[in-house]
């Protein structure tokens, strides 16, 4: 059976492998971001119908349920249908469980008011869908982006890792993109918002080398104003303008992925 077409670019050296990976991951993603939210919407609709004859309590609980279930389910469906899931690959399971818990929170009061079979099935179906969606999203990520042999470097999918920063109020990430390396460090709690203390990008064309070095607390380079790199291994990216230090977790793996993507992007055979 021929693998389905890939929605992302892959180097010819790994195209067959990722065809099989995507064939397995695609089904799991459909469960996580399409089947699960649709199941919750169906269960919620049944509970709303059952609660409609319960007067003001039924109306109020239905409004609360729909206000929580519809936006969160709609977001998951949009996330998959729009292709945005290919840009934000790292937190598939987090999205599935967080939106699912919002849905479950909305259906519980409705189930209490609806009572009967609908009052039992609505939260049960929602809880099962949340669990199934979360497991499926995690499985899809493991299947598609397992780092064995540096395989993800042969795609144009973003490869994101946390920075190894010690100050508890700071949070940072480094991302190997399709044609550039980027990193940012910002106050914790501003994950999806602007306001980074420091952010940088280096196009692949400006990178001349990648290596891993050990730093100690006495001569650690700064990764942001007043923020030294923590002792331990760091990735040093040499560019025409000097070295950039990226204190990323799993530095050796990150450096290997970056080095392989740099080499592959310079070769033909992408599609």
Tokens of 174: 């480094």
Q: Which of 184, 229, 224, 176 is nearest to 204 (CA)?
A: 176
Strand partners, 207: 239
Other C-beta atoms lying within 10 Å of the C-beta of residue 148: 7
Model pLDDT, residue 1: 55
158-217 pLDDT tens trace: 999 998 876 666 778 899 999 999 988 877 654 444 555 677 899 999 999 999 999 887
Structural element, H or E, at residue 180: strand 180-187
Q: How far is CA 239 from the centre of its chain?
A: 29
Rounded distance, CA 53 to CA 60, Å? 12
218-243 pLDDT tens trace: 777 766 666 777 889 999 999 988 88
Whole-model pTM: value is: 0.87
């Amino acid at each position: 059976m021929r693998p389905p077409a890939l929605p992302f670019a892959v180097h010819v050296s790994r195209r067959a492998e990722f065809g099989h990976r995507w064939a397995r991951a695609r089904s799991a993603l459909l469960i996580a971001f399409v089947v699960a939210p649709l199941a919750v919407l169906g269960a919620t609709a049944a509970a709303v119908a059952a609660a409609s004859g319960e007067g003001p309590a039924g109306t109020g609980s239905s409004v609360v349920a729909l206000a929580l279930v519809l936006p969160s389910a709609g977001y998951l469906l949009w996330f998959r249908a729009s292709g945005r899931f290919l840009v934000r690959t790292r937190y598939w399971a987090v999205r599935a469980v967080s939106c699912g818990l919002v849905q479950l929170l909305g259906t519980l009061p409705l189930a209490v008011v609806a009572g009967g079979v609908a009052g039992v099935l609505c939260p049960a179906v929602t809880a099962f869908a949340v669990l199934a969606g979360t497991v499926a999203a995690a499985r899809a990520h493991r299947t598609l982006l397992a780092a064995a042999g540096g395989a993800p470097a042969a795609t144009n999918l973003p490869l994101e890792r946390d920075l190894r920063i010690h100050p508890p109020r700071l949070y940072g990430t480094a991302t190997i993109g399709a044609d550039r390396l980027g990193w940012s460090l910002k106050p914790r709690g501003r994950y999806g918002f602007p306001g980074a203390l420091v952010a940088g990008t280096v196009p692949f064309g400006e990178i001349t080398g990648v290596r891993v070095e050990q730093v100690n607390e006495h001569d650690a380079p700064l990764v942001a104003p007043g923020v030294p790199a923590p002792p331990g291994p760091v990735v040093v990216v040499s560019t025409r303008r000097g070295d950039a230090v990226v204190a990323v977790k799993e530095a050796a793996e990150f450096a290997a992925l970056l080095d392989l993507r740099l080499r592959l992007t310079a070769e033909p055979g992408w599609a």
